[in-house]
Amino acid sequence: MKTISFGYLQKRRFLILTVILALASTLFSVTAFSFFGFYKAFNAYLGESEDIIAIYHRKGTGPFTGFIPLALVAHVESLDGVLATSPETVTPSLIKDKSAFIRGVIPEEFSKVNQITMLDGEALQFSDTNFIIVGRGLAKTLNLAVGNKVLILGVMSDRYLTLEIKGIYESHTTLDDEAIIPLYAGQWLREIDYNTINILRVKIDRSKTTPTQLYDAISKQAEGPPQPDGDTKPSPVENIIEEIIPISNVAINPEELGVKETRKLMNTYLERYGMTQETLLILSVAVFTFSSATIFSATRTLVRQHGHEITVLRSLGAQTKTLKLEIAIKTLPWSVLASFLGLFIAAASLLVMENRGLQAFSHTISFQPNLTIIMLSVTLTLLITTISIGTTKLK
């Protein structure tokens, strides 16, 4: 017996189920968008461009835990296809009791790898011993302005610096949540030797070289013993550095070095701790699954509210499968509506949190729409609703 033509299902009774589905969709969407926002931000931490290569220590557990020789700059600078080199230190620190990352760089070389725009004040110079420039996001979070003096406490060292803010910059990257100081100041704050850095970022011409070719070239140069100081002509970057600090020739051990695209390197760190896109998506789905109990409860409530009508229809010969199919079909638009309502609430909530400084590892997590998450939210909502109706007993 066909019962779809009968209007016994009352729209107002779908309200509870719609609210529950919307909440489940919101929970899933907030979790998934946050995870993927963090994943994307962490991947872009050292740069998003494919022509930016990172030289790092293989055994380092993160971009600021490994150490490599500063002398690598001289080896790399002269290689064919290398356009720019940026030796850097990264120091987790505290400013105004808030966590922040302080990056020590050679400003003139760093600007060739990362484009930054000064919003206020002046650009940093390598000789600016007592100055710092601050990213737009960090300045907003800590209410900092040009001319302010800040006390920087090293988290991984027993050292501190008091510096004056020379400028506020913008890069439209995660760098906006950091601050930049001269390389030697970063080395001192990180409590490492002046001949040591955390990472060397290299901008290459992909038509002339690749990460593998770059590594092979470094290995070939490192085969011989280091040249005595003064026997070789300083490179352009060395000339800049040696105006402030001396550089010693040291032996390079290629076995300790890794050469990768920056995004692939950050992926390596994430995968080391099991944080892949697939894992994050599974965790998000698990969050939705945990909320399925309330969906089952809401579905049964909907059926009980129509108990009298269902009993009448069954007494007239309506089959259980037909009734369940009808309820599922009538529930379909409400489920889709609830799913998109949840997505809208999640997006609005994340935008508010982003404006208020939603962060992970002291870097702002940006909300970005993801078609996979949107489709998965709708699919999961429909799937759980259908299963709930299919497993509900009709009296």
3-state secondary structure the chain: CCCCCCCCCCHHHHHHHHHHHHHHHHHHHHHHHHHHHHHHHHHCCCCCCCCEEEEEECCCCCCCCCCEECCHHHHHHCCCCEEEEEEEEEEEEEECCEEEEEEEECHHHHHHHCCCEEEEECCCCCCCCCEEEEEHHHHHHHCCCCCCEEEEEECCCCCEEEEEEEEEEECCCHHHHEEEEEHHHHHHHHCCCCCEECEEEEEECCCCCCHHHHHHHHHHHHCCCCCCCCCCCCCHHHHHHCCCCCCCCCCCCHHHEEEEEHHHHHHHHHHHCCCCHHHHHHHHHHHHHHCHHHHHHHHHHHHHHCHHHHHHHHHCCCCHHHHHHHHHHHHHHHHHHHHHHHHHHHHHHHHHHHHCCCEECCEECCCCCCHHHHHHHHHHHHHHHHHHHHHCCCC
Average pLDDT over residues 200-223: 84
Residues 60-79 pLDDT 10s? 777 778 899 988 888 888 88
Average pLDDT over residues 143-154: 94
Across the chain, mean pLDDT equals 80
Q: How far is residue 108's CA from residue 330's CA, in Å, rounded to a whole number?
A: 65
Average pLDDT over residues 81-93: 91
pTM, two decimals, is 0.72
| 105 vs 66, residue with greater confidence | 105
Average pLDDT over residues 47-62: 80
Q: Which pLDDT belongs to residue 273?
A: 64
Predicted confidence band of residue 122 (pLDDT cuts 50, 70, 90): very high
Which range, of 141-145, 300-304, 355-359, averages the lowest pLDDT? 355-359
Predicted confidence band of residue 153 (pLDDT cuts 50, 70, 90): very high
Q: Which pLDDT belongs to residue 9?
A: 58
What are the domain boundaries of the chain? 11-43+276-391, 72-251
Average pLDDT over residues 331-360: 80
pLDDT at 249 over 90: no
Question: Torsion over CA of 282, 286, 292 and 294, rounded to 10 degrees?
Answer: -140
Which range, of 215-219, 248-252, 387-391, averages the lowest pLDDT? 248-252
Predicted confidence band of residue 357 (pLDDT cuts 50, 70, 90): low
Tell me the range of 140-154, 317-331, 343-357 where mean pLDDT is highest: 140-154
Average pLDDT over residues 98-107: 92
Which range, of 26-40, 60-74, 154-168, 221-235, averages the lowest pLDDT? 221-235
Tell me the range of 28-42, 89-103, 371-385 where mean pLDDT is highest: 89-103
Q: Which pLDDT belongs to residue 2?
A: 47
pLDDT at 231 over 70: no
